[in-house]
Amino acid sequence: MELRKIVLIQPGREGKIFGKAPAAPYTLMRLASLVPDDIEVEIWHHDWEPLEPKLRTLGKHDLVGMTAKTLEIEQVQRFTQIAHEAGVQAVVIGGNHVTLMPEDVTPWADVIVTGEAYRTWPKIIEDFQNDALKSHYNDTEWADLTGVAPLSDRVIAQVDERRRYWTPMMEITRGCPRNCSFCTAIRVSGQKMRFRPVEEIVEEIERRKIDRFFLTDDNFGLAFIIDPEYTEKLFLALEKLPLRGWTTQSEMAVYKYPELLKLAKRAHLDKLFIGFESVNPDNWRELGGKSKGLTKQYAESIKAIQKTGIGVVGLFVFGFDNDTPKVMWETWEFGKNVGLDSMSTTVLTPYPGTPFREQLIKEDRLMPDKSWQYYDTAHVTYYPKLMTVEEFEREYDKVCRAIYSPIRIAQRGLRALARHPLQRMPAKAFGSFSTDYGYRRTFAWRHAFS
């Protein structure tokens, strides 16, 4: 089939915030960079502009790819329907949700892609042109990250991240050897930690001309433990770049590596988002070995990290089988007293492919009326064990209103800001408050629809 152009679609529900979309579509930027130069490729993002009218301009000779997390899959199904009505014959669906639950997408997609797609995506483009498209492409190998899908200059120019997005994304590692019962990341990125070569990271940052970024890594902190030499080399290279700052997800064990933390600070690391997950020690089994619900140890790690000048964002999840409303208030107290820079409290969510979901299915505890849009970590989608749904929701609302009250956000933001020297404060002001503001917005989705 003659190929007119490729359109890659990023769904979204946030829209623009003060004129920019929140997070750049990094997944699609990598995939678009694999498209041969002689084929036109565009990335369309629903947070930047409403996509329905644009979808109606597509036709039979366009190859359309869409990515979706679980909570976005219904929006993507709707986009697919519009594209089909416009005459598109090849809508390809990839991403986390389809990888974890292909049977959910097969009935309405033309092509599904499971796995990482670095090999299958170029093959799909070729097969489209040869009228040989299959209905399912499965990439079973965890690709070595060396030289994989470097961002092309035309994609960088088209996405124009600095003008259109608040947060550029960047990948350094992939995969995590832990095994948290509720985590889907390890089911889509594997349990072997893989590293991109330092030279490629530096080259990408320079070519994108970005001076801030958030890592897509699931648990970057594990690099401290698994490959300290690599981590040191990375930090020494980043130190030389004119960065304003970067942030990443990590487990708390990094506090045992003060020398690397100092290097990380010199490499412009601003904040670590640490998944403590729970202050309830009875939940230790669910936490995959990275934390054990021991608040004394959490406090020690927070102090040690902050001492090096790096901020700590504490991430907590409510609704494990040993949780009662009391745990939510204990988390609030802990967060208040320990001096976190920002704080996220979300509702445990039984994503497809996780042991937690399997258990709930066996025990018939999934709420039947909760479609995928509710899987946003702000809504309760299952019957908790030691609380009723109503109790869970009521106390969650109360505790989040306390945590995300303007005064608490201001307090934590000022604390984060105070970590920087006076002359750097203007540059750091936005980042010091925006994390909590973002979490407040996530919580607000709980009441956007019920």
Positions that interact with ligand SF4 (CB under 6 A): 176, 178-180, 183, 185-186, 218-219, 251, 275, 288, 290
Residues 62-81 close enough to bind ligand B12 by CB under 6 A: 65-67, 69-72
Angle between helices 295-307 and 325-338 (to 10 degrees): 30
Distance CA 190, CA 172 (A): 15
Quote the CA–CA distance of 263 and 235 in Å, as a whole number: 6
Q: Which of 216, 331, 432, 435 forms a contact with ligand B12 (CB under 6 A)?
A: 216
Nearer to ligand B12, 188 or 201 (CB): 188
Rounded to a whole number of angstroms, the minimum distance from the CB of residue 314 to ligand SF4 is 14
27 binds ligand B12 (CB under 6 A): yes
Of the candidate residues 35, 75, 97, 264, the single one contacting ligand B12 (CB under 6 A) = 97
Q: How far is CA 119 from the centre of its chain?
A: 23
Nearer of residues 188 and 267 to ligand B12, judged by Cβ: 188
Least CB distance from residue 185 to ligand SF4, whole Å?
4
Please report whether residue 183 would count as binding ligand B12 according to CB under 6 A.
yes
Provide the residue type at 271 as one letter: K
228-239 helix and 258-266 helix, angle to the nearest 10 degrees: 30
CB of 416 to ligand B12, least distance (A): 18
User: If contact means CB under 5 to 8 A according to the sort of partner, which of ligand B12, ligand SF4, none does residue 443 touch?
Assistant: none
Q: Choose from ligand B12, ligand SF4, none: what does 247 bind? Cβ within 5-8 Å by kind.
A: none
- Under the criterion CB under 6 A, does residue 172 sit at the interface with ligand B12? no
Contact residue for ligand B12 among 7, 34, 92, 279 (CB under 6 A) = 92
- 89 vs 179, beta carbon nearer ligand SF4: 179
Site string for ligand B12, 392-411 (x = CB under 6 A): --------------------
d(CA 49, CA 59): 20
| Phi/psi at 105 (5° precision) | -105, -30
Nearer to ligand SF4, 248 or 342 (CB): 248
436 binds, options ligand B12, ligand SF4, none, Cβ within 5 to 8 A by partner type:
none
Task: Kindly give, in sequence order, each residue whose CB lies less than 8 Å from that of residue 260, ignoring residues fewer than 6 positions away.
Answer: 224, 228, 231, 232, 235, 254
Read off the tokens for 99.
Answer: 């990888």
Smallest gap from Cβ 303 to ligand B12, in A, equals 26
DSSP 287-334: GTTT--S-HHHHHHHHHHHHHTT-EEEEEEEE--TT--HHHHHHHHHH
- Decide whether 116 or 204 has the Cβ nearer to ligand B12: 116
Closest CB 306 distance from ligand SF4, rounded Å:
21
Considering only residues 331 to 390 of the shown chain, the ones binding ligand B12 according to CB under 6 A are 346, 351, 376-377
Task: Choose among ligand B12, ligand SF4, none what residue 65 binds, the Cβ cut-off being 5 to 8 Å by kind.
Answer: ligand B12
Q: Token digits for 102?
A: 């292909």
- Is 285:320 a contact under the CB 8 Å cutoff? no
- Helices and strands in the chain, H and E counts: 19, 16
Query: Nearest approach, Cβ of 449 to ligand B12 (angstroms)?
Result: 13
Torsion angles phi and psi, residue 70, rounded to 5: -55, -45
Closer residue to ligand B12 in complex, CB, 80/308: 80
Report, in Å, the least distance between residue 3 CB and ligand B12: 15
Closest contact distance (angstroms) between CB of 178 and ligand SF4 is 4
Minimum CB distance to ligand B12, residue 380 (Å): 14
DSSP string, 157-182: HHH-HHHHEEE-EE-SEE--S---TT
Minimum CB–partner distance for residue 94 and ligand B12 (Å): 3
Tell me if 318 contacts ligand B12 by CB under 6 A: no
Rounded CA separation 280/92 (Å): 42
CB neighbour list of residue 447: distance below 8 Å, 6 or more residues apart = none
**What's the min distance (Å) between Cβ of 174 and ligand SF4?**
10
Residue 18: how many other CB atoms lie within 10 Å: 6
DSSP track, 111-141:
EEEEE--TTHHHHHHHHHHTT---SEEEE-S
Number of residues in contact with ligand B12, rule: CB under 6 A? 42
Instruction: Return d(Cα 436, Cα 287) in angstroms, integer.
Output: 24
Binds 251, which of ligand SF4, ligand B12, none (CB < 5 to 8 A, cut-off by type)?
ligand SF4
- Share in percent of the chain as helix, strand, coil (round to 5): 45, 20, 35
Q: Which positions touch ligand B12 (CB under 6 A)?
A: 13-14, 23-27, 30-31, 65-67, 69-72, 92, 94-97, 99-100, 113, 116-118, 121, 169, 171, 183-185, 188-189, 216, 218, 346, 351, 376-377, 442
